């Protein structure tokens, strides 16, 4: 209650804003208040980058991860001939710079594709999330595993298919991932990527990318208007290029129950240690 105009009035509580990572994970699992609060706690240090800015350079010391609040980014490695291989793209709700988590340095360059806002998160804080909220940690592992399978699909496409199939597979994968983020069921999205970006992601020259996009348009399955892509028949295109949506659903029936803790927290474990 607050005292206003000579009388006590009820205080209206502001609705809690959903964090990007919370929104992403909530697509797969109903989160508890404690879990939501823990995710928001990770999103306290905000950093902004302009399109083209490098967040982390390949080989650079890195002790933080980043949660995407807005914009697009990609992770890439430099090739011996001076070229570039884009490993993956990052969207709202994604955790980036995970290619540095196993070492003290980054194994790839993280660059903003559009104007981007990130939440910087120390690795130690990420580790505490796994300790204090094992259900969240298991869900993050499951999501990461689904993304690894999707990357394997794209690598198979790059190594075994033509330019038409590679570009179609990439566009379908981007649409699938964007649907998880914004819940949009449509098939139209803005693509802030150059033909060079597309080529570096699927191993094609800019000329080959242009031809492949034109071939896709000629089928009537895909339309382009400047930076806007529209997939007119998602199911038909997916069947044509043998695309599998790895992002829409993640199995959660195996996750530990709410409030579960590790073996070290169980009394019988502590007893055995002291026998």
Which tens digits make up the pLDDT trace of 133-187? 999 999 999 999 999 999 899 888 888 899 999 999 999 999 999 988 766 566 8
The verdict on 115 and 192 lying in the same domain is no
Please tell me the total count of domains within the chain: 2
The verdict on 76 and 185 lying in the same domain is no
> 268 in a domain, yes or no?
no
Which tens digits make up the pLDDT trace of 60-89? 999 999 999 999 999 999 999 999 999 999
Range of the domain at 208: 135-253
Which pLDDT band, with edges at 50, 70 and 90, does 104 fall under?
A: confident
Residue 14, pLDDT score: 39
The verdict on 38 and 80 lying in the same domain is yes
Residue 275, pLDDT score: 47
The verdict on 128 and 141 lying in the same domain is no
Q: Where are the beta strands (DSSP E) in the chain?
A: 2-4, 7-9, 45-49, 54-56, 64-70, 73-78, 84-90, 95-96, 109-112, 116-122, 188-190, 222-225, 228-231
The verdict on 215 and 231 lying in the same domain is yes
The verdict on 182 and 243 lying in the same domain is yes
Residue 103, pLDDT score: 85
> 105 in a domain, yes or no?
yes
* CATH number of the domain to which 110 belongs: 2.60.120.10
The verdict on 98 and 55 lying in the same domain is yes
The verdict on 158 and 110 lying in the same domain is no
Flag the least confident range among 133-142, 172-181, 211-220, 223-232.
172-181
* CATH number of the domain to which 207 belongs: 1.10.10.10
Flag the least confident range among 31-40, 180-189, 249-258, 266-275.
266-275
The structure's pTM equals: 0.85
Q: Which residue has the higher pLDDT, 79 or 11?
A: 79
Instruction: Pick the closest to residue 261 from 141, 136, 142, 122 (CA basis).
Output: 136
């Amino acid at each position: 209650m607050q005292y206003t105009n000579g009388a006590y009035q009820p205080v209206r509580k502001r609705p809690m804003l959903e964090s990007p990572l919370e929104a992403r994970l909530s697509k797969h699992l109903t989160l508890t208040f404690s879990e939501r609060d823990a995710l928001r706690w990770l999103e306290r240090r905000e950093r902004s980058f302009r399109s083209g800015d490098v967040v982390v350079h390949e080989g650079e010391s890195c002790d933080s991860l980043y949660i995407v609040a807005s914009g697009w980014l990609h992770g890439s490695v430099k090739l011996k001939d001076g070229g570039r291989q884009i490993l993956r793209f990052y969207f709202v709700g994604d955790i980036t710079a995970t290619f540095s988590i196993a070492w003290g340095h980054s194994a790839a360059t993280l660059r903003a594709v559009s104007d981007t806002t990130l939440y910087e998160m120390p690795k130690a804080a990420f580790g505490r999330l796994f300790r204090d909220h094992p259900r969240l940690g298991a869900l993050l592992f499951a999501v990461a595993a689904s993304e690894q399978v999707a990357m394997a699909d794209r690598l198979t496409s790059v190594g075994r298919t033509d330019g038409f199939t590679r570009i179609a597979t990439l566009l379908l994968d981007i649409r699938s991932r964007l649907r998880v983020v914004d819940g949009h069921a449509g098939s139209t999205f803005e693509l802030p990527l150059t033909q060079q970006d597309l080529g570096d992601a699927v191993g094609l020259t800019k000329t080959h990318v242009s031809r492949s996009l034109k071939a896709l348009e000629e089928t009537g399955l895909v339309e382009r208007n400047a930076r806007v892509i529209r997939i007119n028949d998602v199911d038909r295109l997916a069947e044509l290029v043998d695309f599998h949506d790895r992002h829409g659903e993640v199995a959660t029936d195996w996750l530990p129950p709410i409030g579960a803790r590790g073996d070290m927290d169980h009394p019988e474990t502590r007893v055995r240690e002291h026998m």
